[in-house]
Amino acid sequence: MMEGFLKILKKIAKNPTSLAGLLLVLFFVIVAIFAPIIAHPEYPDTPYQMPQSGWSSIPQPPSWQNPFGTSEGQYDIYYGIIWGTRTAFKIGIVVIGLALIIGLFVGTMAAYFGGWIDEVLMRITDIFLAFPFLVGVIVIITMLGPGLTHVMWALVLFYWMGYARLIRGSVLEVKENDYVMAGRALGTPGYKIITRHILPNAIFPIIIQVSMDMATIPLTAAALSFLGLGSPVGYADWGQLVSFSRNWIISSSGGNPFAYWYTITFPSLAIILYAMGWNLLGDALRDIFDPRMLV
């Protein structure tokens, strides 16, 4: 497995765009890990609460104390972006983790046993897919009320279907192979076959999908914050920082159209680079693992 991993890394390094993707993602991983050091929290028990230097709602330009300036409500943008990286990873990992588990379960059950189980599970997946993603999430948050945990639950509820279908597809593919037939013929128990034969083969498409989702999840969270349904006010979350700036992006106070450029530039740059990193990586992985690409 290790040797295969190195081979993939070599391939990624060769292509400029995918290399850029890998570097971007690594950069954000480092920022997330060293967050407490680069941006020391004021109250250790609430590190995700952005420090406020005052209460005025007019953003202040970058200064020594606030390297990226302050947002509406005087939240320190620099601190918000550093700890926002952790939020992005946290939401990403939690949501994708849970969605993967549900998807894995549903997908393998449906594909492996087939028959009416497959039909029922797939119809359920269709129903969940019946919602355009944002609408479904909004419906749940309206019912549960805003807040990060509710956002995460809503995202999980509308993400697992992608994985279920993906895994079902690859399990079906592998199931027909002879060595699986042989395994069954020898009487090896179902779960053993699944874990040892089927799942390792499905790993690659999952990795591609996960890297893509790691990009879309902070974007969805940002969209929810823009609609006022995201994380609580003052929570270090990129989406919230960007939605703070929505009324200052196009400010033409005193003739200078971009007087408050910093309120939108830094948070959106963070989201875009983070998402680009994952997207580029995912795209590169897709090219590497997709046999058709080798024409």
Question: By rule CB under 8 A, what string of x and - marks binding of each residue 183-222 to another protein?
Answer: --------------------------------xx--x--x
∠ Cα 85 88 94 (to 5°): 135
**Is residue 287 within a helix (H) or strand (E), and if so which, with residue range?**
helix 261-289
Q: Distance between CA atoms of 32 and 1, rounded to whole angstroms?
A: 27
Question: Does 181 engage in binding with another protein (CB under 8 A)?
Answer: no
Q: Distance between CA atoms of 230 and 228, rounded to whole angstroms?
A: 6
Q: Considering only residues 218-277, where is the footprint of another protein by CB under 8 A?
A: 219, 222-223, 226-229, 232-233, 239, 242-243, 246-255, 257, 264, 268, 271-272, 274-276
Q: Distance between CA atoms of 202 and 199, rounded to whole angstroms?
A: 5
Q: Distance between CA atoms of 183 and 189, rounded to whole angstroms?
A: 9
Q: Which is nearer to another protein, 98 or 219 (CB)?
A: 219
DSSP string, 253-282: GGG-TTTTHHHHHHHHHHHHHHHHHHHHHH
Considering the complex, what minimum distance in angstroms separates the CB of residue 140 from another protein? Answer: 6
Q: Are 8 and 288 in contact (CB under 8 A)?
A: yes
**Segment interacting with another protein, rule: CB under 8 A, options 76-84, 100-108, 125-133, 198-206:** 125-133
Considering the complex, what minimum distance in angstroms separates the CB of residue 37 from another protein? Answer: 25
Q: Considering only residues 147-176, where is the footprint of another protein by CB under 8 A?
A: none
Q: Which is nearer to another protein, 190 or 232 (CB)?
A: 232
Q: Considering only residues 35-94, where is the footprint of another protein by CB under 8 A?
A: 52, 54-58, 72-74
| Buried b or exposed e, range 75-113, using 16+ CB within 10 angstroms | bbbbbbbbbbbbbbbebbebbbebbbebbbebbbbbbbe
According to CB under 8 A, which one of 102, 129, 172, 207 is a site residue for another protein?
Answer: 129
Q: Which is nearer to another protein, 39 or 141 (CB)?
A: 141
According to CB under 8 A, which one of 13, 29, 101, 134 is a site residue for another protein?
Answer: 134
According to CB under 8 A, which one of 135, 181, 182, 203 is a site residue for another protein?
Answer: 135
Question: Does 17 engage in binding with another protein (CB under 8 A)?
Answer: yes
